[in-house]
Chains A and B, each alone.
Chain A
Amino acid sequence: MTDAADVDHELRVSKIRNGTVIDHVAGGGALTVLAILGIDGSTGAVVSVGMNVPSDRLGRKDVVKVEDRELSQEEVDVISLIAPAATINIVREYDVVEKHRVERPGTVEGVLSCPNHSCITAAAEPVTSRFAVLDDGVRCVYCETIVREDLAAYIDV
């Protein structure tokens, strides 16, 4: 392996040209973030993932870098539920042009599906799922079911 290739490799993992870096995800949360973003390897998206990277703030953190994609507010909202300490960095031409911490929204709309099979949002009705965000989980605004564990399993992609 040549030095040039090493440099290129290093560059690939640490820096992206355009896209989003999701940093300060609690250790082990990266795969959930990927699930929220609908990234399963089949989409062709260029993605780098660092898992259990030493971090001053979190002890161990995960980092997800997605090239050529800036996240929607809805996606950031859902990420905030599983990674409340995350920071979102928007990168253009290798520079971080925007950096902010996620904020837990009051409600999330249209991203999670209700686990209650007899909820009206699971029926053939013109209704978008909506969840109120609680301190510890989310609650379906329609059927009032509370979801705490395994939010990623209910992400609607």
Chain B
Amino acid sequence: MDHDHVISTRELSRAAIERVLDRAAEIAADPGAVADRHADRVLGLCFFEPSTRTRMSFEAAIKRLGGDAIDMGGVDSSSVTKGESLADTVRVLSGYADALVLRHPSEGAARMASEFVSVPLINAGDGAGQHPSQTLLDLYSMREFAGGLDGLTVGIMGDLKYGRTVHSLAAALTEFDARQHFVSPESLRLPRGVRYDLHESGARVREHESLEGVLGELDVLYVTRIQRERFPDENEYRKVAGEYRIDAATLEDARAECVVLHPLPRVDEIAPDVDDTPHAAYFEQAHNGVPVRMALLDLLFDGANGGNGEQSPIGSAGGGRDR
């Protein structure tokens, strides 16, 4: 059987993205209609890194489709501590479930794992690589709050080098007629691979070291966290991170319609006083995780059922080595 895997947004076409977002909108409008749709399905959750939100929203998604989730538990309580390879782990777990969700600290982990499994696999974060289901909910949120994806001007700020949500989002936005502004300290600029794809796609992209000059143009400001461990010492971190923090006063220069998103969890890069402004949309964004992941699972399961030899509806076909 030919399976879909969702590994990297580099492989998601505009049509595939829109299919997920449209389905998510249908589900959000009438969740009862799908309450038993996948009653016989089991989703395997394989998190080799801590996660609250992503893990729980996948679990909520499968349960709201009538299915169930099994969870391999924390890394310290599993066979991983006995030295089992990731390849062996997922190969075994793929026999227990109808689809797997994988988060792992190594870049490329999901791609490799997908070569060892017999069910669809969703990358829920591979180190500093990709996090495609987050991007789908980001795009869903942008479409909802900003009214569409074509013609948008999006600012993406923070840790662009290691931020997997940034890498996934930047690649996906190239499928739309969106303008992208990247705002970060010099040391945390986009990695070469992401930059290469943006260039190849002909996307309209600019890079900035400060939000100041560009804030007034943005329809969406996507903020990500700059982590302490990216810097050699505390002082430098404080100095740099402070420049990429926003509060209600910062947003006085933003367009009235500008929407602030964040993949969460936030620490202090968005001050609490932003929550009370009309710009704040990050909590609604987080809530969108469930319908979007329901839509993704629904389409993956239907694709795996497909049977009519039709190309799977999303992602990369299993077994195919050329990309």
B145 CB, min distance to chain A CBs, angstroms: 29
> A24 in the interface, Cβ–Cβ < 8 Å?
no
> B129 in the interface, Cβ–Cβ < 8 Å?
yes
Q: Which B182-217 residues have C-beta < 8 A from chain A?
A: 191-193, 196
Contact status of A123 and B322, CB under 8 A, knowing A118-B107, A143-B108, A144-B193: no
Q: Which A18-44 residues have C-beta < 8 A from chain B?
A: none
- Decide: B323 and A141 in contact? CB cutoff 8 A: yes
Q: Which A108-157 residues have C-beta < 8 A from chain B?
A: 114, 116, 118-127, 130, 132, 134, 139-146, 148
B193 CB, min distance to chain A CBs, angstroms: 4
- Decide: B105 and A118 in contact? CB cutoff 8 A: yes
* Total of A-B residue pairs, C-beta within 8 Å: 71
Most A-side CB within 10 Å, residue of B106, B115, B191: B106
Q: Which residues of B contact A (CB under 8 A)?
A: 8, 10, 85-87, 104-109, 111-112, 115, 126-130, 191-193, 196, 321-323
For the complex, would chain A's binding face be called helix, strand, loop or mixed by DSSP majority?
loop
B317 CB, min distance to chain A CBs, angstroms: 15
Interface size for A (C-beta < 8 A) is: 26
- Decide: B192 and A125 in contact? CB cutoff 8 A: no
Q: Which 9 A-B pairs have the closest CB atoms?
A: A142-B108, A143-B107, A143-B108, A120-B108, A120-B106, A144-B193, A120-B109, A120-B112, A146-B192
23 chain-A/chain-B pairs, Cβ below 8 angstroms: A106-B322, A118-B128, A120-B106, A120-B109, A120-B111, A123-B106, A125-B87, A125-B112, A126-B85, A126-B87, A127-B112, A127-B115, A132-B323, A140-B108, A141-B108, A142-B108, A142-B111, A143-B107, A143-B127, A144-B10, A144-B108, A146-B193, A148-B192
Please give 15 more A-B residue pairs, beta carbons under 8 A apart, in addition to A143-B127, A145-B107.
A114-B108, A118-B128, A119-B108, A120-B112, A125-B86, A126-B85, A141-B108, A142-B111, A142-B112, A143-B106, A143-B108, A143-B129, A144-B108, A145-B193, A146-B196
Q: Which residues from B are CB-within-8-Å of A130?
A: 321
> A107 in the interface, Cβ–Cβ < 8 Å?
yes
Query: Residue A124 contacts which of B85, B105, B115, B193 (CB distance < 8 angstroms)?
Result: B85
A104 CB, min distance to chain B CBs, angstroms: 15
Cα distance, A121 to B86, chains bound together (Å):
11
- Decide: B107 and A120 in contact? CB cutoff 8 A: yes
Cα distance, A143 to B110, chains bound together (Å):
9
Most A-side CB within 10 Å, residue of B108, B109, B115, B192: B108
Cα distance, A132 to B126, chains bound together (Å):
19
Q: Which residues from A are CB-within-8-Å of B106?
A: 118-120, 122-123, 143
Q: Which residues from B are CB-within-8-Å of A125?
A: 85-87, 112
Q: Which residues from B are CB-within-8-Å of A141?
A: 108, 111, 323
Q: Which residues from A are CB-within-8-Å of B129?
A: 143-144
Q: Which residues from A are CB-within-8-Å of B86?
A: 120, 123, 125
Cα distance, A144 to B107, chains bound together (Å):
8
Q: Which residues from A are CB-within-8-Å of B111?
A: 120, 141-142
A150 CB, min distance to chain B CBs, angstroms: 14
Q: Which residues from A are CB-within-8-Å of B127?
A: 118, 143
B139 CB, min distance to chain A CBs, angstroms: 20
Q: Which residues from B are CB-within-8-Å of A118?
A: 105-107, 127-128
B305 CB, min distance to chain A CBs, angstroms: 29
- Decide: B87 and A116 in contact? CB cutoff 8 A: no
B288 CB, min distance to chain A CBs, angstroms: 26
Q: Which residues from A are CB-within-8-Å of B105?
A: 118
Cα distance, A140 to B107, chains bound together (Å):
10
Cα distance, A79 to B73, chains bound together (Å):
46
A118 CB, min distance to chain B CBs, angstroms: 5
